[in-house]
Chains A and B, each alone.
Chain A
């Protein structure tokens, strides 16, 4: 009952906004802002499911490949840098500089190195997404309770077991905060890289529709990207809640990550 009462005001505003948009756009006759019904019709024609195998699947494949590389590299390097003072000392300044480079400026370099195939997009996505994962992993590993670390050492728990059952679990709330930031960044970089040089993909489709003045198609692509962003984020939050159920601070860190 309580949930229902809370749901009312939550759904009220989105419903009003959609209604207002629908009514306004139906009358506006503005070329840039076509009627909502046209956009929805174009959404159905394009994305349910005619273009899914040709554009959506390649886009998501590249995004997930880049994301997976970033996660593997970020967590691996992060544990290394976080655990050893010497590595931190040596790598710190280079990390500070590289992470300050806005990832899109790497696109010309990536095209030069990998050509305009999928590899360059995967590289750009991975190169941009690695930083939130890396920095959070470093902080998570460094922030481990010293008692925990020393207890593990006193009991002579081997390095591998210590890594798997002490260091990674203790750092996981921070790592997850980084993974979440990186996920939304990967969608953004996927779109940018497809707009810069591509022959398929959602970003390519949206820009191409705009260039050929197929405005409802363009809006349907924007709508799809919005839905994707929303679903990815919601899915990740759910996954995090399940995996970090044991961690009392999970709620607090979820707020922080937002």
Chain B
């Protein structure tokens, strides 16, 4: 209920500004106009195909990044020597803006899906890698020693102790990486022209269909909102046993 007021008030103000010609109506169509466009596109066809294309790049890139970064992070985190040797190169690679690689991706992959997947994967590697490393380093040493004392092997220790206790860190990494992935997927569509929501927004803007542009920007926002909510839910469910979640639920 609280939400409705906060979202409606700015929309009403925009509507009034546009209707009273304070803002030029061609470039700033009133919200009622682009909300109608949004509703008209809702049933079939419309933006759904673009949303699916964007989600495709998002999902493949995120999954690839997780497949690479999580095992690598677990390995690096569990060996002091590996951590020391690789810390400097990782610290150097991580702040490189992934978008600097766009021209390279265009050269190598053109405007195909691989372009999007490459950029998304590169950008998502770092938050996942760091979360996995911190997760392993934060495992309670007493638990490890106890398991070793009871004769559990390396694999059993990994499965029973390391993975569950670093799961909270990895889940947070996934949540951060998910929004990074969406940004990079849309960027590759917008700047390079890989098919998807970003490219359609660009086309709508350059063909002067501004109502459609605003409607699609709203769709992009709703997509981001949905992904955030889904990941927060999944995290809460998968880690319902974890103290961090139990504390939050209790508070």
Contact = CB atoms under 8 A, between A and B. Distances in A.
Interface string A166-210: 000000000000000000100110011001100000010011011
Given A90-B6, A187-B97, 14 more contacts: A12-B85, A92-B2, A92-B3, A93-B4, A94-B7, A105-B198, A108-B213, A111-B205, A113-B27, A192-B190, A218-B104, A225-B96, A229-B95, A230-B91
Give the interface residue-count category, chain B.
Answer: 35 or more
Contacts of A258: 130, 134
Given A92-B2, A111-B205, A105 B197 contact: yes
Interface in A213-241: 215, 218, 221-222, 225-226, 229-230, 232-233
A232 B95 CA distance: 9
Given A102-B186, A206-B103, A209-B103, A93 B3 contact: yes
8 contacts: A94-B10, A97-B222, A100-B223, A109-B217, A196-B190, A210-B107, A229-B96, A232-B95
A9 interface: yes
A160 interface: no
B155 interface: no
A104 to B, nearest CB: 5
* Max chain A Cβ within 10 angstroms of own Cβ: one of B93, B106, B221: B221
A91 interface: yes
A101 B220 contact: yes
B191 interface: yes
Interface string B20-31: 000000010000
Nearest 4 Cβ contacts at the A-B interface: A100-B224, A210-B103, A108-B205, A93-B3
A10 B7 contact: no
Contacts of B87: 10
A55 to B, nearest CB: 14
B95 A233 contact: yes
B101 interface: yes
A13 interface: yes
Contacts of B107: 32, 210, 215
B36 interface: no
Contact of B96 (A90, A96, A226): A226
Given A13-B86, A91-B6, A102-B220, A96 B225 contact: yes
B32 interface: no
B210 interface: yes
A11 interface: yes
A19 to B, nearest CB: 13
B86 to A, nearest CB: 6
Interface residues of A, number: 55
Contacts of B244: none
- Is the contact region of chain B dominated by helix, strand, or loop, or is it mixed? helix
B50 to A, nearest CB: 12
B35 to A, nearest CB: 14
B225 A105 contact: no
Nearest to A105: B220
Contact of B88 (A14, A91, A188): A14
A29 B245 CA distance: 54
Contacts of B3: 92-93
Interface in A131-171: none
Contact of A230 (B96, B98, B179): B96
Nearest to A202: B100
Interface string B99-111: 1111110111000
Contact of A97 (B84, B89, B198, B225): B225
Contacts of A230: 91-92, 95-96
Contacts of B182: 102
* Max chain A Cβ within 10 angstroms of own Cβ: one of B104, B206, B222: B104
